[in-house]
Amino acid sequence: MTILVKRVSGTRLEVVSGQHRLSAQLAVNGKADVQDIETGEQFAVHRVDGEIVVLTSPAAAAAQSAAAAVISNAAKR
C-alpha cells in the first residue's frame, strides 16, 4: 500500500493516507517512501521537529548549493 501525502508548503507535507505505515517506516528506517496525491511524484520523507518533510538527496543538495553560489555571484556583478 502506498503512503499518500499532500504538499502543505515547500517541503512540508500532510499525510492523506497511510499514517500507521508512515510511522512504522520512520521508526524502522528513519525515512519513508511516499507519493504526492496531487502530482503522483514519489519521493522519500523524514520527520523534522514533528513535521513530515521531503528528504533531499545529497546530489540534490549539492545542486542546490551550486545554483545558490552561481546566483549569488551573478547578483554581485
3-state secondary structure of 72: helix
CB 52 within 8 A of CB 22: yes
Q: Where are the domains positioned within the chain?
A: 4-76
User: Average pLDDT for residues 2-25, to the nearest whole number?
Assistant: 90
The Cα 45–Cα 53 span in angstroms is 5
pLDDT, tens only, 32-54? 999 999 989 888 888 888 888 88
CB 58 within 8 A of CB 42: no
CB 54 within 8 A of CB 43: yes
Verdict on whether the full-model pTM lies above 0.85: no
Q: pLDDT exceeding 70 applies to what percent of the chain? A: 83
